[in-house]
Chain A
Amino acid sequence: KAGVTQTPRYLIKTRGQQVTLSCSPISGHRSVSWYQQTPGQGLQFLFEYFSETQRNKGNFPGRFSGRQFSNSRSEMNVSTLELGDSALYLCASSSTGTGVEKLFFGSGTQLSVL
């Protein structure tokens, strides 16, 4: 079985631009979560989707949004990028439906905002 696939692997953007990150979960997994990882703040929850519904959103500004498609693939979008958005964005999928148990992570998208 293929693992969680995130594209692109690296992104360089400038302030004010917007970006879209993609995540393909493990086949059969319907729950997809997104986390932001930075050296200073560690792993911070962004949002979780299950069957195209956002079930929870973390404490991030409205510039951060996401969606999930009928095939469980998910995208997240960040508009009006700021320097502080530079981070590793991780996607995780789970078969349990809880959004917290048995998470399988992708390798992440490293976003650099200049």
Chain B
Amino acid sequence: GENVEQHPSTLSVQEGDSAVIKCTYSDSASNYFPWYKQELGKGPQLIIDIRSNVGEKKDQRIAVTLNKTAKHFSLHITETQPEDSAVYFCAAPGGSNYQLIWGAGTKLIIKP
């Protein structure tokens, strides 16, 4: 079945620096790749998503890149701020319909 691997599990960066989180998927038929941010005590919140017919998408300080050949996609956060501290999850559609398969999550720590 579909598998999504996410690295690193923890990422600590200096405020103002960039952060990159990478995910690899197994199902070459996957065509939609979202990224979610989860803050303590809350449910995941969609921050950006990309379809397989697009190589890159940006939204202010956040960008996602997709490499279909290598089957990986990455989240890029520039000019990190304290409010970026959270757990970030990548996901991809599962082999069965109507479900997402999730990466294990990356805890992003922004050091002041």
Query: What is A's interface to B at a CB cutoff of 8 Å?
Result: 4, 31, 33, 42-45, 48, 50, 55-56, 58, 90, 92, 98-108
Contact = CB atoms under 8 A, between A and B. Distances in A.
Contacts of A33: 98-99
A84 B105 CA distance: 21
Q: Which 10 A-B pairs have the closest CB atoms?
A: A105-B43, A99-B98, A43-B102, A45-B99, A48-B98, A56-B98, A55-B98, A100-B93, A105-B44, A42-B104
Contacts of B42: 105, 107
Dominant secondary structure of chain A at its interface with chain B: strand
Nearest to A41: B104
Contact of B43 (A55, A58, A92, A100): A92
A45 B96 CA distance: 11
Interface residues of B, number: 24
A100 B99 contact: yes
A100 B100 contact: yes
Contacts of B45: 105
A33 to B, nearest CB: 7
B97 A102 contact: no
B32 A100 contact: yes
B99 A106 contact: no
A45 B97 contact: no
B36 to A, nearest CB: 8
A101 B97 contact: no
A8 to B, nearest CB: 15
A72 to B, nearest CB: 15
Contact of B100 (A31, A45, A55, A104): A45
A98 B43 contact: no
B5 to A, nearest CB: 11
